[in-house]
Each structure stands twice: as structure tokens, then as C-alpha cells.
Structure 1
């Protein structure tokens, strides 16, 4: 199977990398992969709006990596792999990092986020930037996921009138449609796992701190993290292995180096045998058809040797209320710190108040929804505010020690399983998103890892199975997800159809 065929089928990073290593000279190269990707981009991106910018240096980088391979220097399994980067993550390529906002349309920084530098060192080719929900969906509670003033509206390739979820909408839609073998997204609460589930992908939100947050447009230093979005669990493991690690500018990631692993090496098809999993029933009931798919997933887990223990109730309300205080307060401080790191000749706003004023003066920004969340964040009183400090402590305690950790301890389970969320809703630019229930908040607020794996479809729309564990349990979750994936193979590529 050639690279072109692989990409047209939505092929995986692992297969692409392996194909390139094993192919005869001139048959399958990074350059050929980039050329094929560009052809598919030109054919389909006008329908999807998944890609916000193409890297003009991608072919040059690919040719250099092919020359390295020809000379006998192969950096590893990702050598020559084309990858899209969500457009709130900086790359040193001549592309702006916009977070989807016109306020950052000239934000060409010339610097790689450390996570990108690690991927580049592993041999990845940065294809371009993926569209996203503007400001990673923090501007308004009435927003439409996947819309940004810079990139337009990302659509779900499984049904073009359906949401791709957010905020890593473009990353998910692009990989699902075969515009890239893999992509990097970011999550504060659900922004990797929701779009991955709704686009039939594997998505991993790592433990906060495992992946550096430096040079990533922020929402919250308590909850932000980047992570891989791929067609298979093994591909996600390969990317996480490359991108994990600390940096001096982000001292909170110091433990990451001690926790790093070869996440692909530990994958096992028998990882579910003899383990106990907690079934989060409190995440069911919003979508009966999704629940039916989930019941089949539970049968599949049991068939692979897992013991399932039911957890019928958990009150997430206090967690969500505390989370709101934390996110609003941290965003005001964190976005000011990020803006201060940019070139004032290219980025005029220097504070959240400046961004609010920019939006008010720029009709394109407020065309579909407002900025009431920005305004709530602007009204917060800073990182020393006692209300914020109390909310942060409460949020971590309720979601972590008294949430995920307590559930695992009381059930004797090593992980929690749940439906990630329901199927994609119909896009509604006038009224905004129609979110149902999701399993994203507890791991997001706790800062714990969350893996979603395709578990089937509802009327042709993908839904995902979540594996949630304690801090630093990425290796175990990936192995559990891999065993489930290999036993079921539920992923089906989209057909790019209107609905």
C-alpha cells in the first residue's frame, strides 16, 4: 500500500512511518507524503476548513529528512511523518500562531514550542496549522465549536452539517478525513477528547505537566495540556513518547522527565485480562443510542477478561462551579503573560482588556457570538484573590482525591470507563453548541490523563469510549485502550457526505 493510498484512506502515523522505512528507494518518501497531503488538502479543505495555514517550508523539510534517511540516519519511527499542529501552538515555521483570532493574525514568532521542538527532533514534518474554536472556546458560552475569525467554520467529515466539537476541531477533522496522518491538539476541558470522539479518532489528554505548555496560547495553567490525535492508539503512543518532557521556562513540568516512557513499547493486546474497571454510570442517560453502543463496549471489555464494577452516582456540580472560577481567573493572568512574550509590533493587544476592546472594534470577531466569558474573566481579581485560591483547592480536591482517586480506591479499579460524549450535534451558528453530557470534566479539573478510543457509531456518527486514570497513568491507559481497540476495531473512516 503506497503513501497516497494510505492518506486517502485516513491511514495512520504508524503505518506511514513504517512504510517509509521499509520501502525501496524512491517509492515512499516524506516528500511524496507531503505532496499527496497537499493534493488532498486542496481537494477537501474548502469543505472542511480544518487547516488554517499550510507550512511553506514543509516540502523543504521533508526533502532534508529524506536525504537523512538515504544517508542511513533514521531518527526513529516518526522520521518523515507529516503532522498538523493546532493553531494555538507556536512553531518556528513562517506561519502565524493565531488561536483563531484576528488580533494574532500577524503573530509569527519564529520559535518552536518545546513540544514542537521535540517532535521535530524526532523527525516530524510540520505540515501546517489546524483550525480551532477561537481562543480555544473561552470567549463565549454561546460559541459554535470549530469557528474562528481567521479560519472560518470547521465541519465534521462524517456529516458536513454536524459539529466537529472543539476546541481542537481542525486537528480532529483533518486526521479523520485523511488530510494528515496525525495532529496535535490542546485541552483545558474536553478540547482533545470531545473532537476525537466525534470524529472517530483516538485522542489523549495527558497528565497536566507531562507535556510542556511553553509557547502555547493559554487558558489555564492548572488544566491546559497538549496531546496527540490519531487514527490508532499506537500512533498516539508514538507521538506522546516524542513530545513529552519538561523545559526550564515551565518549571511545573519538572516531574515530566521522570515520568517519561516509551509508551508504545508497553502496549499489549492482553492488557484487559484480569483488570478491574469502574463503570461510570453517572455519565450515561443523555443519549440512549450512545448508551447502547456503550453497553456493547462493556461486553467487549468483559470478553477480554476485565471485571466491571458499577459506579451509579457522582455529583459533578461543585467541581464545575469551582472550575469556572479557576479558568476565568487564570485566563486573565495567563493570556497577559503570553501577550507580553509576543512582538508588540505584530501583536497590539497586551492584556485581556485590550483583546476585549479589539473584538468590540472588529465586526468579524463578534459576527456570530459575543465575548461575555472574556468579560467575566476581566472582572476577576487576580491569582492572589482568596476566592480563586479556595476554588482552585476545592476543584483539585473534589475532582482528584475525592473524585477519580476515591472511585478507583472504592472499586479496586485501575481505571474508569465511560462514554466520552454523544454523537455530533447539528451546527447552529445562531444559537451556538448543543452539548450533551461528557466524561471530560473530572480528569480535566484533576489534571489526570484521559484517553478516548472509537467504540462505534450512532447512525453513522462516531462515539468514543473513555479510559480515565490517576495522575501519570498514561502508559496503562494507552495499553488498556490498545487492547480494546485491537479486539474490536470499531473505527470507520468518513465518506465526506452532507447529511
Structure 2
């Protein structure tokens, strides 16, 4: 009888590393409980056991163990590069690595292509001593190619799934990095976000997701979508990961007296009211409200605020900006490849390749179940020709004004005094709060809270203004300390083989939904 994959976490030299934070792992490495090579082998074994059903990892680094041994040698000589020395991580398959792996955005057309160098974020992590385990799966081309598609699917990686319930959507395009961390296949991962693509899957996979202010992290070497919205972001797992990383701050904050003076806003009409009225997510709403009551009881002031409406002309949409940016930005990225065997130089070439290989890549509507609408979003971008006309400029100005000074910044200034953040439920009303933060380019963090009636995790997120990222991490850690850690994945419906569609169905004519890019 087929009982399915072994979902038990392998021990590392007898040490149970499931749900271990980076700080814990580093302590064990320092104490000699196991080596970086042992730790890397353990995560690789975990991946071998469960990736066949999760499809969270698209490719493993054949040099990972050798790299870990090099870090062990440095440790033995007394040389520690950083707190990440010897810690294994994954990157989304649109973040370039100059090694024996491919960087393809999940598409077969870029197999064999070579990048000139590591993405800047990968370079910095290697210099810090972290061990790159491999590339994580994603929604192909970071959910840019179609208006209605199978979320978390790529032609290279297949259908990525949620380790809590494999029949449920794992979230936006950074699904693989989130699912891998949630399932303890690595210590941390890097994803990318244009709109919701890190925060939403982190929330739905029960891990911490940190999306920095746009421009704070380098995007060099990342297959782009929009230079106006893109950012590299981080997904982290483990019980009380933030709490252990910011223990000094938590020691000061968890006391009843020291919560006093902290002030947070709850955007009501645009976010929380919708959550309160959603009967299907009643358990979520009640659990999050109970958590906020606990914060108030600990001395925090939590105030109902409003984010002003961002209603405008349909041309004043996020996608009006993204479709132009993508045309130009992807051309620039492709021009930098040192080897390009399929001669993919532009979006025109991308579209043509998908049509030519439509049985595998679904370039023509109705020829592949993952892409019922083919590549209609690519085609809209193609039609723009990358022209930054008055419509483009007006749309960019509009979404920034309505989400920045007339949006988040206005909500953060309550009665003339700044708030420490806006508290929001990530999944309410299709992720509207995440979209507002994405269009503003502002920082956001989500902290896992519980699992809903549908078996999918949910969390509480904080939004701040530009370059106030440190406040999010600190207060996120404080909230995590109150929550007390996340429930572990249950691998419910482990034999699921369904498609998980999102976006605008083929019979509805509309602009592409902005969520999860």
C-alpha cells in the first residue's frame, strides 16, 4: 500500500532541527553538535523526501555540500564570516546565480542561458558565508504572463503546493521559497515581490515574510517585472524566528509597562471591515481580533484609522505601469546574458517561443491547462512597446500619490502624531492591504498567527512608510513573542493533483488582477 512520502524531518547528528531558527542553528554549529556539511546534507535529505509532492524546489545546487565543507574549514581556522556562516538557503528561480544551476523564471526557454555574475543579493550572502542549496519554484515569469493561470506552476518546476494542505493555493509567485521554508527544507529563502508575491505566500504558508522598501535591496541580477515596484524579499521559518533574532528588544518590550506608548492603526473601511464581513474567514477574523485585544491588554494603543480611497480611471492602474516596465526591463536583463542558446532577446522572442512550444509552454489559449488564457498578459505588455507615454506617467503618479501621501502616510499620522505601524490581515478582500503597500513601494512584514478552517495558515501584518523597515522587524518580533510560534505543517491532502487558478477567467474581459506578482 502506497503511504506517500516520508514527511518526518531527519535529525542532524541526532539533533532535531525542525523549526530551528538561524540563531539556534548557528549555536549548534558553534558548539560542534554538527557541521555545516551535516546541516546541508540534512536539508537535502528533507528535500529528497518531500519535494516530489511539494515541488517547492526547482533545482538543487550540486556544489552545496562542498561549499558547506569550505565554510566548516574556515570555522575550524577561527574565521566566521557572519551569523549566517554555514546556514543553508534557497533563492527563487528568477534570482541569478553564476554556478552550475539555471536561472530561468521557471521557463524552459532560458535553460542553458548563462548569467554574467551572481545577483548582488546572492553575492552578499555568499560573502556572509551562507550556503546556497538551490533554486526554488515559482509561478512562471513571476505571474506576469497571463490574466488567468495556475498559481504556483512553472513549466520547469511543475505545480508547487502548500505543505499545510496540498490542495490549497500556496499564494503568489514566490510560492516555492515560502513552501520550502514552511516545510523545513532550508533555514531561510529569498523571493521577489512586485505585488503580494512574497507577503501572500508567506502568510498562506505560515512563515515570516519581510518585504523591504523598494530600492533598499539591490535588484541587480534579478529577472525583472517592474523597476518601480520590484524588490527582493525574505521568507523565514522556525518557531519564534524573529523573537530569537531580536531577543534584547523583546526583553524590553514584552513587559506590560513597556508596551505602553506604542501606537498602531487598524485601517477599517478599506481592510478590516471587509474581513469582518467575510463569513468564510470568520475564524481568521476572530483570531486576529483576539490577538489585537492581547496587544491592547499589554499596553499598546490600537486605533481605527482610514486609508483614503484610491478610486480612479481604469488607465490609472498598477498594470498600466507594470506592462510598460516589463517590456523594457526584461529586454535589458536578456541583453546581459553571456550565453543565450534560444536567442531570447526581447518580449517578442518570449511570446514567439511560447507559441512555438505551446504544448509545453501554453502560448496559445486552451493548449495547456496551466494557462487557459495563454499569454494574454505578455501580449498586452507587447502592445505597449514599452512607451512611457502620458498615460503611463499619469498612472504611475496616481498610484503613488493615492497609496503614499494620501494613503499609508495619511493613515500613519493620527491626530498629528505618527503611528508605529498599520496592522492588517493579509488575506482580507483579496489582499487589498498588500496591494496598497506594493503600489506605494513601502515596507511590510507578516507574522504567522494560526491556521484557518480551510487548513491554510494566516497571519497579522504590519505596514510602515518608506525606510522604516527596522520598526517592522522589531514590532514583528514583539507580536511573534505574544503569538508564541506557529503550528507545524500537516501535509493534508498529500496526493492532491489539482490546478489552482487565480486571476480573471477567460469569459471575463478585464485588465489583469494585480495580486500575487
Shorter-chain TM-score bucket reads 0.7 to 0.9
The 1:148–1:399 alpha-carbon spacing in structure 2 relative to 1, beyond 3 Å, is same
Distance in 2 between the 1:220 and 1:4 partners? 45
Distance 1:272 1:141 in 2: 45
Q: How does 1:407-426 map to 2 (within 5 A)?
A: 407-410=411-414, 412=417, 413-421=419-427
Partner of 1:175: 181
SS in 2 for 1:183: strand
Deviation at 1:318, TM superposition (A): 3.8
Task: Describe how 1:83-162 pairs up with structure 2 within 5 A.
Answer: 83-109=89-115, 111-162=117-168
1:482 aligned to which of 473, 477, 483: 477
Q: TM-score, normalised by structure 2?
A: 0.84
Are 2:200 and 2:431, in contact at CA under 8 Å, matched by a contact in 1? no
1:372 aligned partner: 376
Partner of 2:61 in structure 1? 55
* Contact 2:87–2:129 (CA under 8 A) maintained in structure 1: yes
Q: Kindly state the Cα deviation for residue 37 of structure 1 after the two structures are TM-superposed.
A: 1.0
Change (3 A) 1:267 1:333: farther
After TM superposition, list the pairs within 5 Å mapping 1:66-465 onto structure 2. 66-109=72-115, 111-231=117-237, 270=253, 272-281=259-268, 282-284=270-272, 285=274, 286=278, 287-311=281-305, 314-318=308-312, 321-362=316-357, 363-366=359-362, 367=368, 368-369=370-371, 370-410=374-414, 412=417, 413-421=419-427, 436-459=430-453, 460-465=455-460
- The SS at the match of 2:361 is coil
Equivalent residue number for residue 428 of structure 1: none
Larger of the two Rg values belongs to structure: 2
For 1:340 and 1:323, the matched residues in 2 are separated by 26
Q: 1:452 to 1:232 in 2, by over 3 A?
A: farther
Tell me: CA distance 1:166–1:173, structure 2 relative to 1, closer, same or farther (3 Å): same
Distance 1:164 1:8, change over 3 A: farther
Distance 1:319 1:295 in 2: 35
Structure 1: runs of 5+ lacking an equivalent = 240-262, 423-434
SS of residue matched to 1:376: helix
Distance 1:193 1:57 in 2: 30
> C-alpha separation between the residues in 1 aligned to 2:445 and 2:491?
25
Q: Is the 8 A contact 2:192 2:230 kept in 1?
A: yes
Deviations 1:374-393 (A, max 9, x none): 11111114353111111111
Q: C-alpha displacement at 1:414, in angstroms?
A: 2.2
Contiguous gaps of at least 5 residues in structure 2: 1-9, 363-367, 495-517
Deviation larger for 406-415 or 326-335 = 406-415
Is the alpha carbon distance of 1:7 and 1:178 closer, same or farther for their aligned partners in structure 2, counting shifts above 3 Å? farther
In the alignment, the residues of structure 2 paired with residue 319 and residue 311 of structure 1 have an alpha-carbon distance, to the nearest angstrom, of 25
CA-based RMSD: 2.4
Report what 2:501 is aligned to: none
Call closer, same or farther: CA 1:267–1:314 in 2, change over 3 Å: same
What is the number of residues matched between the two proteins? 461
> Is residue 176–residue 231 contact of structure 1 (8 Å, CA) maintained in 2?
yes
TM alignment of 1:22-41, pairs within 5 A:
23-24=31-32, 27-41=33-47
- CA distance in structure 2 between the partners assigned to 1:37 and 1:334 by the alignment: 35
Task: Pick from 491, 497, 510 the counterpart of residue 496 of structure 1.
Answer: 491
Structure 1 residues 277 and 346: CA distance shift in structure 2, 3 A: same
Residues 376/353 of structure 1: CA separation in 2 closer, same or farther (3 Å cut): same
